[in-house]
Amino acid sequence: MARQSSIDDIIRETADEVVARVSSAIARHVGELVQEGLRRELGKNVVARRAAPAARRGEITRWVADTRARRVPTFVIEATGLDTKKKIVAKFGANAAFEKGKPLPKAKAA
């Protein structure tokens, strides 16, 4: 049995050495592939950003209260004192047009 365990020990040590060498080579190779992929992706993103500049938003000077509106402009909130689209539509009605620097539209009849 002593001879059998020594052979097992030799095989186990040799396998450990092989695994250590192979795993470090695999890790190096995977690292290189990741770096190459990152360089390729970063290069694409930089070119894409240069090709399509972001659109700048202008100041909103006219707003129509409707059920599909996404947000209420600040000038409408300040002029009406109402902070939600629902409240503004309830008071002024759907499709009421607000323009910056002009008087408020007439409130709808209750």
Average pLDDT over residues 34-49: 75
pTM, full prediction: 0.46
Residue 107 confidence (pLDDT):
87
Q: Look at 82 and 47; give whichever has higher pLDDT.
A: 82
Q: Which residues pair with 57 in a beta bridge?
A: none
Q: For residues 43 and 46, give the distance between their C-alpha atoms in angstroms, rounded to a whole number.
A: 5
Residue 66 confidence (pLDDT):
81
Which distant-in-sequence residues (6+ apart) come within 8 Å of 75 by Cβ? Answer: 60, 61, 63, 98, 100
pLDDT tens digits, one per residue of 45-64: 655 555 556 666 778 889 99
Q: For residues 58 and 94, give the distance between their C-alpha atoms in angstroms, rounded to a whole number.
A: 24
Distances (CA, A) of 82 to 2, 52, 66: 91, 38, 15
Residue 91 confidence (pLDDT):
92
CA atoms lying within 13 Å on the CB side of residue 50: 6
Domain ranges of the chain: 1-55, 62-99
pLDDT tens digits, one per residue of 86-108: 899 899 988 899 999 899 998 88
* Identity of the amino acid at 73: P
Which distant-in-sequence residues (6+ apart) come within 8 Å of 106 by Cβ? Answer: 92
